[in-house]
Copies of this chain bind each other. A is one copy, B any other.
């Protein structure tokens, strides 16, 4: 990752996307935002309906300047025309300090603001769903039984333009108060590791069919 971008240098930085708490961990660098989005499969879409907030988890993918998510064609969180706030967070480890106050976690997080827009053109919707499958299992789409009309119609795809966003990252060791460093308790970082387990094949399958190569994406 490159140096921290000064807030005023990035068009992603607005009053709404400004990170007030822990501003030293915040950035508004588009490359960093894209890196975190692309390395993650899950986001949480927040929306407000008559003042009632809703938080819905879903999968996302990116195409250039847009972040896409999908759902049942009638799913609430497609939110066409509504303001949304989307958060993506990857948890990377526990930070165990010598005081409770300095306990923390390492993480990479992106928060996006924008207005959701439905993808209605069937060809573009199919193209985006291909990009989605390609993110999870590159090269798998042409091997699949082709998508049919009712399936395409039954799947909703929304997007927001990435114009207003922040990322917040903690990727470091313990930050204890200077007077606490000799306090007699173990201190350090416990990293979280993730990997794909052994693929569990569904029923007997013809010889020669193999699971897709794993992608580092979760």
Contacts and interface: CB of A to CB of B under 8 A. Distances in A.
Contacts of A83: 51-53
A147 interface: yes
Given A54-B85, A75-B21, A192-B218, A133 B212 contact: no
A43 B141 CA distance: 33
Interface in A106-133: 107, 109, 111, 113, 129-130, 133
Given A54-B85, A144-B99, A218 B186 contact: no
Interface in A148-198: 151, 154-155, 173-174, 176, 180-181, 183-198
A189 B200 contact: yes
Interface string A77-119: 0000001111101010110101111010101010101000000
A22 to B, nearest CB: 8
Nearest to A173: B202
A137 interface: yes
A199 interface: yes
A71 interface: yes
A108 to B, nearest CB: 11
| Chain A interface residue number, banded | 35 or more
Contacts of A201: 186-188
Interface stretch (A3-11, A27-35, A61-69, A203-211): A203-211
A73 to B, nearest CB: 10
A25 interface: no
Contacts of A113: 52
A180 B145 contact: yes
A202 B184 contact: no
Contacts of A147: 99-101
9 closest residue pairs by CB, A with B: A48-B48, A46-B55, A46-B46, A191-B197, A55-B87, A46-B53, A101-B151, A57-B89, A186-B209
5 contacts: A53-B85, A93-B197, A101-B151, A173-B202, A186-B201
